[in-house]
Every structure is written in structure tokens, then in C-alpha cells.
């Protein structure tokens, strides 16, 4: 059961005396967590924190009575929640403080204010507001908002190590967080913000050293993607976009699995070699379910269950990037394909959208191949009820 409090007044940038321990806390014990949302039972690990976040006005549920605890939180949303949690005033207007921030965007005021406070800096002039916030990004923003005394990185540190050590001091590296670039869910954000405010001493938490630097290793020789792109990061973004749409209709969150990453990348590479992309597997029928199923089987991938057990969505678009690291560029480029799929909502013909939110699907994979000559990318996403056999999950066990 989580106690929580709200100070009667807060300065524009409140300073919590984390190191000196001089802050007087008047704690109130809420009633036993009652399920305010249909998808957050009282038995949920972070049910009390969800109740806290709702009660404080930090986070809200959806009109259908759900909270979507497993849905990702993007960077703009996290900043807004952080400001609410710390009682920071959000200006009424913003400007084009980043190349991808429109002045009329709802999040422009908070993003630009956060930039002026030094909470965020962006990358190459971009803020990426719709990108799922990662653990290390959240750690930096929280430390900045709390004005914590964070030491400078040592010569052997990564840039984010001091911020993770700050979270460790606050017992805020949650048991559900396994690697530094892990996207945070709505329930995890609620728990994180509660722990930062209350600094509990008796709850489970992990040390910064226990975190892995990478979620997992993809399987298959065709699963690497473009050489100058971190496909793990791109796949995480794609997963986050899909799960955000699924949360809106109450569908369970998808999980990225290596076999589907492999099959998707294989078909993307095949399409690049052919110079075009479609669903045909050596026949004239555009979407021959059995032919595609056999193609999966040839790659060693079969599916459990009856009826429709898998789906395939494809896309291509113009794209070119010759930088050493094109991860962010490719992520922004394929967003147009996702927007096309999601934009089918409400239309008479909406195969990609229906596949995206189909509650029967539980797993997903993404492959992207880039042709530098024709300056195009070929994108393939595979969904399934469940890959039969021993599935290598996207996120492996915690590093020790």
C-alpha cells in the first residue's frame, strides 16, 4: 500500500532535500487500492501507484474505463506527467524550440520550458516527442526536475550512469526494468514518480549495475538490418506505436519476438533485391494465405492455434541516409508507413489497421531493408497468435 502526499506549496522548481534528508513529510495512508480501472486489478504490482497518479491528476485513464498499464509513454507525455508530479507550471505557449516541435502542438509549451530548464536537449536538433521514453531518458529528466546533486560521469561511465545511480538511491529502478534503453509503460511511470516523491525504503528495487545495456540479441543471419542502423531501437519504436494504438481499443500489448524479426527482415531483403514489394510468394494471387504460411515454414517458423494465426503488412517509401548512424532518420521515415496503417481507422477498407489492433495477435516482428541506389526502404511487419516451438523472446533475462 503506497502512502503519498502533496506539499501545500511548491516553488517553480522545487528542491527536495534528497541528500540531507531535511524535508518534513506528512504522509497519508490511502485506503486499500481499489480497482479504478477495468484493466488494473488490485492485485497488479503497481495498482496503488496508478491510483496515486490518478488521484494527484498526474495521469488519466481512457473513456472506456481502462488505464492501459502496459502501453508505452512517449517523451512528450512523460514530460507533462513529470511537471504535474512536481507541481511545475506549464507555460501557455511554446515555440519551435526543436526542429520537430510545431508551435501549435499541445506539448510545445512543456517541451520548450523543459529545454530552457536544461531537462532535455534533444539529438541533432530533434526532440522526438512521439518516441517512447526510455529508462535512462526518464532518469535524466527526473534528476533535473528534482535538482538532485548528480555527479559528473567518470572516464569509464556512460553518460547516463550518474542518473541511474540517482534512481538507485531513490530505490526507483523497478523490478520490471531490465535494460537501460527499455521503454517505460504507463504503470511503470506511475510507480517511478511515486517512488521519487516518497523515497521508500522497504520496496524491491535493482541496482544500476544490474541493468543490461541491450535487451537481447536477434537470431538469424538475415535479422541484422541496415549496417548503420540500430534495428533494436527501431523495432522498439515500432512496437511502441503499435501497442499505443492497441491500448486505445483495449487489445493486449504485443511482444517483439526474434523469429518474426527474422522472417520480416528476410522478406524485406527479398523485396529490395526484386526492386518492389508485395505479398506474392511465387504465384499470381496477391495474398495467398497458405503460400505465405508455407514460406514461413521454410524458414523454420510455424504457428500454434487454428484459423488466422499470422498477418503481414508491407510498405515502401523514399528514403536516403549516408550518416554513420541513421537510426533516428530511419525511425522518423518509417513513421509515415505506420501513420498510413493507423490512418485506415474508420475507413471501409482497413486491412492494416484491423491487423494492428487485432486482439488475437500477441507477437510481432519488424524488418526494414534500405536500397541506397533507388533511395527507398522496404518495410515488413509480421504478427502472430504465437510462434510454435521454443520462442526466443525479444527481451532476455536480466543481466547479472
Q: Is the pLDDT of residue 277 over 90?
A: yes
Lowest mean pLDDT among 174-183, 221-230, 327-336: 221-230
Q: Is the pLDDT of residue 276 over 80?
A: yes
Average the pLDDT over 7-30 and give the result: 32
Is residue 96, in this structure, part of any structural domain at all?
yes
Lowest mean pLDDT among 48-57, 180-189, 208-217, 290-299: 208-217
| C-alpha cell recorded at residue 294 | 508455407
Q: What is the pLDDT of residue 72?
A: 86
Lowest mean pLDDT among 33-37, 134-138, 162-166, 170-174: 33-37
| pLDDT-derived band at 293, boundaries 50, 70, 90 | confident
From 309, 288, 297, select the one nearest 383 (Cα to Cα): 309
Give the residue with greater pLDDT, 395 vs 189: 189
CB atoms within 10 A of CB 289: 14
Q: How many distinct structural domains can be found in the chain?
A: 2
Q: Are 136 and 261 in a shared domain?
A: no
Q: Are 192 and 240 in a shared domain?
A: no
Reported pTM = 0.53
Q: What is the pLDDT of residue 373?
A: 93
Q: What is the pLDDT of residue 145?
A: 94
User: What domain range includes position 307?
Assistant: 231-384
Q: Is the pLDDT of residue 9 over 80?
A: no
Is residue 30, in this structure, part of any structural domain at all?
no
Q: What is the pLDDT of residue 33?
A: 47
Q: Is the pLDDT of residue 394 over 50?
A: no
Is residue 55, in this structure, part of any structural domain at all?
yes
Q: Find residue 4's DSSP bridge partners.
A: 28
Residue 341 near residue 366 (C-beta atoms within 8 A): no
Lowest mean pLDDT among 50-54, 113-117, 384-388: 384-388
Average the pLDDT over 157-179 and give the result: 88
Q: What is the pLDDT of residue 94?
A: 82
Distance CA 44, CA 19 (A): 32
Q: What is the pLDDT of residue 141?
A: 96
Q: Are 271 and 165 in a shared domain?
A: no
Q: Find residue 312's DSSP bridge partners.
A: 382
| pLDDT-derived band at 282, boundaries 50, 70, 90 | low
Lowest mean pLDDT among 64-68, 235-239, 259-263, 318-322: 259-263
Q: Are 288 and 340 in a shared domain?
A: yes
Q: Is the pLDDT of residue 191 over 80?
A: yes
Domain containing 310 — which CATH number?
3.40.33.10
Give the residue with greater pLDDT, 24 vs 317: 317
Under DSSP, the state recorded for 133 is: P
Q: Are 235 and 345 in a shared domain?
A: yes
Q: Are 243 and 139 in a shared domain?
A: no
Under DSSP, the state recorded for 268 is: H
Q: Is the pLDDT of residue 385 over 70?
A: yes
Q: What is the pLDDT of residue 286?
A: 84
316-325 pLDDT per residue, tens? 999 999 999 9
Q: What is the pLDDT of residue 222?
A: 35
Q: Are 187 and 244 in a shared domain?
A: no
139-156 pLDDT per residue, tens? 999 999 988 777 787 888
Helix (H) / strand (E) containing 344: none
What percent of the chain is predicted at pLDDT more than 90? Answer: 57
Q: Are 261 and 366 in a shared domain?
A: yes
Q: What is the pLDDT of residue 81?
A: 98
Q: How far apart are the first and last CA of the chain?
A: 29
102-122 pLDDT per residue, tens? 999 999 999 999 999 999 999
Amino acid at each position: 500500500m503506497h502512502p503519498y502526499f502533496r506539499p501545500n506549496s511548491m516553488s517553480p522548481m522545487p528542491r527536495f532535500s534528497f541528500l540531507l534528508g531535511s524535508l518534513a513529510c506528512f504522509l497519508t495512508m490511502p485506503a486499500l487500492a481499489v480497482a479504478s480501472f477495468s484493466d488494473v486489478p488490485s492485485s497488479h504490482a503497481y495498482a496503488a501507484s496508478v491510483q496515486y497518479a490518478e488521484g494527484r491528476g498526474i495521469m488519466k485513464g481512457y473513456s472506456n474505463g481502462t488505464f492501459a498499464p502496459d502501453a508505452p509513454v512517449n517523451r512528450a507525455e512523460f514530460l507533462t506527467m513529470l511537471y504535474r508530479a512536481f507541481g511545475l507550471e506549464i507555460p501557455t505557449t511554446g515555440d519551435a524550440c526543436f526542429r520537430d516541435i510545431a508551435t501549435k502542438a499541445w506539448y510545445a509549451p512543456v517541451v520548450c520550458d523543459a529545454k530552457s530548464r536544461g531537462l532535455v536537449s534533444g539529438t541533432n536538433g530533434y526532440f522526438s516527442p512521439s518516441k517512447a521514453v526510455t529508462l535512462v531518458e526518464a532518469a535524466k529528466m527526473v534528476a533535473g526536475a528534482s535538482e538532485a546533486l548528480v555527479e559528473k560521469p567518470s572516464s569509464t561511465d556512460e553518460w547516463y550512469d550518474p542518473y541511474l545511480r540517482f534512481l538507485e538511491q531513490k530505490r526507483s529502478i523497478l523490478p520490471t526494468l531490465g535494460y537501460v534503453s527499455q521503454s517505460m509503460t504507463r504503470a511503470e511511470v506511475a510507480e517511478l514518480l511515486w517512488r521519487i516523491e516518497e523515497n521508500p525504503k522497504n520496496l524491491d528495487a535493482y541496482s544500476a549495475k544490474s541493468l543490461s545495456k541491450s535487451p537481447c540479441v536477434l537470431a538469424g543471419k538475415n535479422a541484422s538490418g541496415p549496417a548503420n542502423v540500430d534495428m533494436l531501437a527501431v523495432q522498439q519504436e515500432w512496437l511502441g506505436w503499435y501497442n499505443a494504438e492497441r491500448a486505445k481499443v483495449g487489445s493486449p500489448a504485443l511482444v517483439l519476438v526474434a523469429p518474426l524479426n527474422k522472417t520480416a527482415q528476410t522478406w524485406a531483403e527479398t523485396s529490395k533485391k526484386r526492386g518492389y514489394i508485395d505479398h506474392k510468394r511465387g504465384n499470381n494471387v496477391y495474398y495467398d494465405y497458405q503460400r505465405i504460411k508455407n514460406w514461413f515454414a521454410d524458414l523454420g517458423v510455424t504457428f500454434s492455434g487454428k484459423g488466422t494465426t499470422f498477418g503481414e503488412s508491407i510498405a515502401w517509401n523514399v528514403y536516403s541516409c549516408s550518416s554513420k548512424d541513421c537510426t533516428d532518420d530511419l525511425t522518423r521515415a518509417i513513421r509515415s508507413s505506420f501513420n498510413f496503417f493507423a490512418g485506415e481507422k474508420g475507413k471501409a477498407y482497413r486491412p492494416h489497421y484491423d491487423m494492428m489492433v487485432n486482439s488475437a495477435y500477441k507477437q510481432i516482428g519488424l524488418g526494414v531493408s534500405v536500397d541506397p541506389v533507388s533511395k527507398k526502404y522496404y518495410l515488413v511487419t509480421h504478427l502472430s497468435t504465437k510462434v510454435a516451438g521454443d520462442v526466443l523472446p525479444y527481451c532476455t533475462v536480466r543481466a547479472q
